[in-house]
Amino acid sequence: MDDRRTETRIAVVTGAGSGIGRAVAVELLRAGWSVALAGRRAHTLEETAGLVTEGAALAVRTDVSRPRDVDGLFAAAVERFGRVDLLFNNAGTFGPGGVPVEELPYDAWRHVVDTNLNGAFLCAQAAYRQMKGQDPRGGRIINNGSVSAHTPRPHSAAYTATKHALTGLTKALSLDGRPYGIAVGQIDIGNAATDMTARMQTGALQADGSVAAEPVMDAADVARTVRHMAELPLEANVQFATVLATAMPYVGRG
């Protein structure tokens, strides 16, 4: 069995300056993890680090769509903490809201793909390189998917396409990680209360063309689920988990 459960564990959390990334980073820090916080804005990362006194936090300004930034993130984490046990691949963007596909600018499409998909790949690749070579070998990657990986919203072509692609990436990484003790899973989240979902509480476009307010849930509930996945021994893996606001229009027809 993996005895690292009793040792200090090291995590890299992308998109840690706000929303779900911040909630997960705080949850892990309070549980005694050491966490490298990655995001585009240094001041929000410092704000996340300042929310807790437990654990040890390292803020690393990172644009996950840039290979050099990602390499620098993992180098900084290893220099500070010595290894990486967990990557929470969370950084993402929805892109411009309410834009029909025929009007979506290519630059906007490309930005969503670069952040949500290419960024997740670059971070997973860097994590693989580290986890394969460290002693003891192995670690865990948890990709932040979305219920959009199963069921899209109107006017969400870029976001939905990347989240479907992320599911394929999760499966491929999980298979490739078996020989090296690298466990890979995905959490699909629906309507966690963050800045990205704020509009849902006042009115979100539905599949039938109507606009309706939708229930949301506390991002801390997502964070506890991620922590559970993260703290399993490497012999066990949650391949896919879905956490959503109970009454959101997802299951069935509304």
Q: For each of the domains in the chain, give its residue range(s) and CATH number, in order of start.
A: 3-244 (3.40.50.720)
Q: What is the DSSP string of 114-155?
A: IIIIIHHHHHHHHHHHHHHHSSS--EEEEEE--GGGTSPPTT
Q: Are 158 and 113 in contact (CB under 8 A)?
A: yes
pLDDT tens per residue, range 12-55: 999 999 999 999 999 999 999 999 999 999 999 999 999 999 98
Handedness of CA 193, 99, 92, 247 (dihedral sign): positive
Amino acid at 190: G
Please, what's the b/e burial string for 43-71 (b: 16 or more CB within 10 A of its CB; e: otherwise)?
Answer: ebbeebbeebeebebbbbbbbbbeeebbe
Provide the pLDDT for residue 1: 40
Q: Which residues pair with 33 in a beta bridge?
A: none
| Cα-based torsion angle of the residue sequence 22, 39, 80, 46 in order, rounded to the nearest 10 degrees | -60
Residue 207 pLDDT level (bands cut at 50, 70, 90): low
pLDDT > 90 in the chain, percent: 74
Torsion angle defined by CA atoms of residues 137, 238, 66 and 194, in that order, rounded to the nearest 10 degrees: -140
The average pLDDT across 52-64 equals 96
What is the model's pLDDT at position 208?
Answer: 64
User: Catalytic site residues?
Assistant: 159
Q: Which residues pair with 241 in a beta bridge?
A: 187
User: What pLDDT does 204 receive?
Assistant: 72
pLDDT at 200 > cutoff 70: no
Q: How far apart are CA 3 and CA 175, in angstroms?
A: 23
Instruction: Report the C-alpha gap between 201 and 246 in whole angstroms.
Output: 14
- Measured CA to CA, the distance from residue 211 to residue 164 in angstroms comes to 25
pLDDT digits (tens, 9 = 90+) for 96-132: 877 889 999 999 999 999 999 999 999 999 999 999 9
Per cent of the chain over pLDDT 70 is 91
Number of Cβ within 10 Å of residue 130's Cβ equals 20
Average pLDDT, the chain: 91
Q: How many Å apart are CA 161 and CA 171, to the nearest integer?
A: 16
Q: Is 12 helix (H, G, I), strand (E, B) or coil?
A: strand
Indicate the burial class of 77 (C-beta count within 10 angstroms; 0-12, 13-18, 19 or more): buried
- What is the C-alpha separation between 225 and 242, in angstroms, rounded? 10
